[in-house]
Structure 1
Amino acid sequence: MRRLTKNEWTFLAVVAVYSFIPAILGLFRIPELVGGPTIMPPNPRAVIDPVPIILHILASSIFCLAGAVQFLPSVRRDRPAVHRGLGRVVVAAGAISALAGLWMTVFYVFPPALQGPLLYWARVFLSLAMFAFLFRAVIALRARNVAAHRAAMLRSYAIGQGASTQTALFIVAMAFSGVEPLDLFRELIMVAAWVLNLLTAEFVIRRTVATPRFSVAVSRRSQSQD
């Protein structure tokens, strides 16, 4: 990683910090789920059926942290083997995270204060969408459509980073209200986090992905004219 630029190191540091709180809180839950000491407040859903939440925690952490490396231009340019190998890990982790999240949404019983109809259907839709974007990314890469591959990965990553943005918004909300957001207010914050992430992804796609695609099209057109 010595070839990374200063901006790339900064990007990785920001993503690591941004992903730190939900990842660490999730990892602290794992000892309890495998029979160790209880570190976090008890979660009866996780105790009754721990496998999906363990898979979701581990896969989401890998997807968010390793996925950030995949967006670094120097890694894609100078270390294509690393990019390809890590990409397989990231796609697998993202798929497991999405499917485990879907399983928990459908089969776990949540108190109404933690999940109502809005959040339930948002989680179902976004879990399926994240998996679909990952599938689209693989298909696009096999077709050598790099622009479509990058766009699909960015969209799936935006969904996968939802917990980080939700944590940030919860902190802001608690700073103003002094209490943990619950009921509809909680659901609106969580949905807003995903919307914000996806809007950011679309902005990045239009700024950095759409332009190369246009350049490739122009290049091919020029070659056909020659």
Structure 2
Amino acid sequence: MKSLSRSEWTLLACIMVYSFIPAVGGLIRVLELAGGPAIAPENPRALSDPFPITLHILTSFLFCIVGALLFLPSIRRHHRATHRAVGRIIVIAGGISAASGLWMTHTYVFPGDLQGNLLYWVRMVLGSLMIGLIVWAVIAIRSRNVFQHSASMLRAYAIGQGASTQAILGIGWIVIVGSEAMGSMRDGLMVFAWGLNLLVAEVLIRRLL
């Protein structure tokens, strides 16, 4: 890790800060479900069926935080064994994160204010797409197609990081409006966050890969 450039350390720090709210909030929820103090707002769905949300939080944490290492040029070029080892972990974590997200979306009973039809179907489509992108990334690297591998993983990462953008947009909405977005507005903000992430991913693919 000593060979990382200053810009790469800066990128890692930015990702950590960007991921802070959903990462820390998720870990607090896991501690609560494990018997710790109730700090986060009550979530009756998690309390009634804690396994999928615990699985989702832990694997999403790995995918979003540890997965950032895969995009650093120094790791790819000078620490290939590390890149491959982390990559295997991230592929499994990303797949489980997406699958558990689909599980919760389909089986948890959400109030209409928290998930309407739009958000349900977008979650189902993007969760399935994330799994497909990860599988395609594995196929591509086995065929030595580095560009398709990197592009597919970056797109999957953009989907996986949706919670971070959603948290920022949600906080911004509260600051501007004075209350939390609910119902169709909440659905729209969350869908917009994924769209924004995927747009940024496409720009990065065309400029950097």
TM-score tier, shorter chain, comes to over 0.9
Amino acid at match of 2:44: P
Which secondary structure state, in structure 2, belongs to the residue aligned with residue 113 of structure 1? Answer: coil
Q: Deviations over 1:68-125 (max 9, x none)?
A: 1100000000000000000001111100100000000000000000000000000000
Aligned counterpart, 1:187: 187
Amino acid at match of 2:156: S
CA positional deviation for 1:208 = 1.6
CA–CA separation in structure 2 for the residues paired with 1:187 and 1:180 = 12
2:115 is the counterpart of 1:115: yes
Which secondary structure state, in structure 1, belongs to the residue aligned with residue 112 of structure 2? Answer: coil
Structure 2: state its 5+ residue gaps. Answer: none
Aligned counterpart, 1:96: 96
Aligned counterpart, 1:22: 22
Which secondary structure state, in structure 1, belongs to the residue aligned with residue 204 of structure 2? Answer: helix
Aligned counterpart, 2:35: 35
Aligned counterpart, 1:146: 146
2:152 is the counterpart of 1:168: no
Aligned counterpart, 1:127: 127
Amino acid at match of 1:6: R
CA–CA separation in structure 2 for the residues paired with 1:32 and 1:186 = 25
Aligned counterpart, 1:156: 156
Aligned counterpart, 2:50: 50
CA–CA separation in structure 1 for the residues paired with 2:161 and 2:182 = 21
Amino acid at match of 1:94: G
CA–CA separation in structure 2 for the residues paired with 1:119 and 1:16 = 26
Structure 1: state its 5+ residue gaps. Answer: 210-226
CA–CA separation in structure 2 for the residues paired with 1:10 and 1:36 = 34
Amino acid at match of 1:36: G
Which secondary structure state, in structure 2, belongs to the residue aligned with residue 37 of structure 1? Answer: coil
Aligned counterpart, 2:11: 11
Q: Write out aligned runs for 1:63-78 (5 A).
A: 63-78=63-78
Q: Deviations over 1:112-146 (max 9, x none)?
A: 00000000000000000000000000000111100
CA–CA separation in structure 2 for the residues paired with 1:145 and 1:172 = 40
CA–CA separation in structure 2 for the residues paired with 1:36 and 1:24 = 15
TM norm structure 1: 0.91
CA–CA separation in structure 2 for the residues paired with 1:148 and 1:119 = 29
Which secondary structure state, in structure 2, belongs to the residue aligned with residue 110 of structure 1? Answer: coil
